[in-house]
Amino acid sequence: MKKKRRATASAQKRHRASPRKRGSGPDSRGRGKAPGTPAETMTAAEAVVATLIGHGLDTIYALPGVQNDFLFEALFKFSDRLRTVHPRHEQAAGYMALGAALATGKPQAFAVVPGPGLLNAGAALLTAFATNAPTLGLVGQIPDADIGRDLGQLHEIRDQAGIIARLVDHTKLIRTPERASRATALALRAMHSGRPGPAVLECAIDVWGKPGAVRLEAPLPAPAPKIDTDAVRRAAKLLGGAKRPLIICGGGAQDASAEVTALSDMLQAPVLAFRRGRGVLDGRSPFAVTLPLGHALWREADVVLAVGTRLLIQFRQWGLGPKQKIVRIDADPKEHDRLHKPAVALTGDAAPLLQSLLAELPKHNAKRAPRAAEMQERQAVWRKRFEEKIGPQLAFLDAIRAELPEDGIFVEDITQVVFAARVAFPVYKPRSYISPGFQDPLGLGFATALGVQHARPDVPVVAVCGDGGFMFTATEMATAMRHRIPLVTIVFNDGAYGNVRRIQQERFGNRLIASDLANPDFVAFGKSFGAEAVRAMGPDELRRALRRAFAHRDGPTLIEVPVGAFPSPWEFLILPTVWE
Ligand SMILES: Cc1ncc(C[n+]2csc(CCOP(=O)(O)OP(=O)(O)O)c2C)c(N)n1
Ligand SMILES: [Mg+2]
């Protein structure tokens, strides 16, 4: 083992002794070569990076360390084609890749050292799994021959592969440069075939820099499941004959906006979306409904079409009626009958399945009276209730909506204005409302939004945070400055884990514990990095601050909004059981 370590150390010395300038140097290994070309000599790291480029990736969110030195050497070499964005903590590497993946629907990569680096990125990986986000983690390893020997090598962690395998569906240890490209291509294919999701590749400190005869792998075909035309016909019959059809969208419907919109029109069916399905149907349509109105519509619905959603709220909180029939569309066949067997189950991507349904439906569809006026009236009733019960949050959300362009992106952190946004913020476009779904990891908002903004430099992005959540990753303001990311971040500052605090007041006899916070001066904090930073007192000032902030594209803006306690939004989020 000693010999191996020495060999690694001397290889590193060689590397340090011969620095290459960006985009120059005599070395032509791999540069400019398209995937699928004949074998050439490359390191494992170069093979991985060239394969990422061959698959269309243009960025990696990565924090260096000795195990990954040869990976970073490859990133340097390919830096004209793949940008390396380095954050200040591995959680942000993972969260930035997550944000970029959710905002684009395309695969994104991050790299971290093993052990603490991997665990630091753990919440992001967990959230990528929960949101089916295609992020690829490149994770270092101790020397290959020492893996599993409990020697106490730098950053060693027991059974790293086992830990990773619990977090993601696809993982592989790269053992040789010859197999590195194929392993990468297989991981990238796994990330978007069937149910999308994260994958991880591990590679040992002494393997990343090993040269070998590498054949670069082009993107591998990912065959789509055959459409079950019989099931499509049964679904069309059920939906076509439905008296009060309801469509429910989750994150799996984000790439089927046109199809969902057409179907809603054909069926005159409202489309319920909670968080990850927001924006699939334009929020300006009276048919786009959120939870409370959706709850009433669920009670009325005889046939429900569920697209890319777990239906957990409906099944666990509201209950399934004795006569309700469910048609499910999901990329993951295991999802269909986890809780209830649907009347019809269709497996595959939402868009092609909905296209076949749209083609079949006219043969079976009942003549339908227009429902727009009814929906408009019912929406207005709920808007009034929001104004009465959660007016303070609504005023801030109205200010954000008024200034955020229609394709601008709203990123959730876990805070009270966001709880209200989940039911009361209209979302106009797919992938323009970024939510961590059921994981709800406090503190992801700022770092995730940095990734969103980095991947979508063409549109304004706003991260909506509380003072508690923002401080989880506030140091990433340095990353925003270093990489000139023009993200706008709102921090609603109530000096508390306010949501927790209110629960302690209302449900636990005001026995307050661990919910009051000491904060920095957020404006001074932002300015100390060189960022634009302002304080906005109330919704009108927030609106003016946002207008200036969205026009400032040269770097980040932090807007602190001092607030008091907010009224509880929970009556709109946790609704009563409909069917026992
Ligand atoms: C990783 C993680 N830890 C803890 C929580 C529990 N939690 C949810 S909201 C919240 C308080 C958030 O405080 P802040 O960001 O200031 O928003 P506020 O409630 O004050 O609006 C906490 C602690 C969580 N969701 N995730
Ligand atoms: Mg707070």
pLDDT tens digit string along 286-297? 999 999 999 999
Ligand 1 mutation target, pool 499, 501, 502, 517, most atoms within 8 A of CB: 499
User: What are the backbone angles phi and psi of residue 471, rounded to the nearest 5°?
Assistant: -70, -10
d(CA 214, CA 540): 59
What are the C-alpha distances in Å from 342 to residues 195, 234, 246?
19, 12, 15
Lining ligand 1 with CB less than 6 A are: 414-416, 440-442, 466-469, 492, 494, 496-500
- Is residue 417 within 8 A of residue 566, CB to CB? The reply is yes
Q: Which ligand 1 atom minimizes the distance to the CA of 493?
A: 16
pLDDT at 27: 36
Tokens of 2: 């000693």
pLDDT at 3: 37
Using 50 as the pLDDT threshold, list the residues of the chain that sit under it: 1-32
- Single-letter code of the amino acid located at 323: K
pLDDT at 9: 36
pLDDT at 580: 84
Task: Calculate how far, in angstroms, residue 217's C-alpha sits from the geometric centre of ligand 1.
Answer: 44
pLDDT at 36: 54
Helix (H) or strand (E) holding 409: strand 409-412
Tokens of 188: 């990238």
What are the C-alpha distances in Å from 59 to residues 84, 85, 209, 454?
6, 7, 21, 9
Tokens of 572: 């709109």
pTM above 0.85, yes or no: yes
Place of tokens 């269709």: 346
* Nearest Cα residue to atom 23 of ligand 1: 497
Task: Calculate how far, in angstroms, residue 176's C-alpha sits from the geometric centre of ligand 1.
Answer: 44
Tokens of 52: 């990422």
pLDDT at 38: 78
Q: Which ligand 1 atom minimizes the distance to the CA of 492?
A: 21
Task: Calculate how far, in angstroms, residue 446's C-alpha sits from the geometric centre of ligand 2.
Answer: 14
Task: Calculate how far, in angstroms, residue 314's C-alpha sits from the geometric centre of ligand 1.
Answer: 25
Q: Which ligand 1 atom minimizes the distance to the CA of 414?
A: 9
Task: Calculate how far, in angstroms, residue 483's C-alpha sits from the geometric centre of ligand 1.
Answer: 28
In this structure, what DSSP letter does residue 150 have? Answer: -
Can you say whether residue 350 is alpha, beta or left, with left for phi > 0 and alpha for psi between -120 and 50 degrees? alpha
* Nearest Cα residue to atom 12 of ligand 1: 497
User: What are the backbone angles phi and psi of residue 491, rounded to the nearest 5°?
Assistant: -115, 110
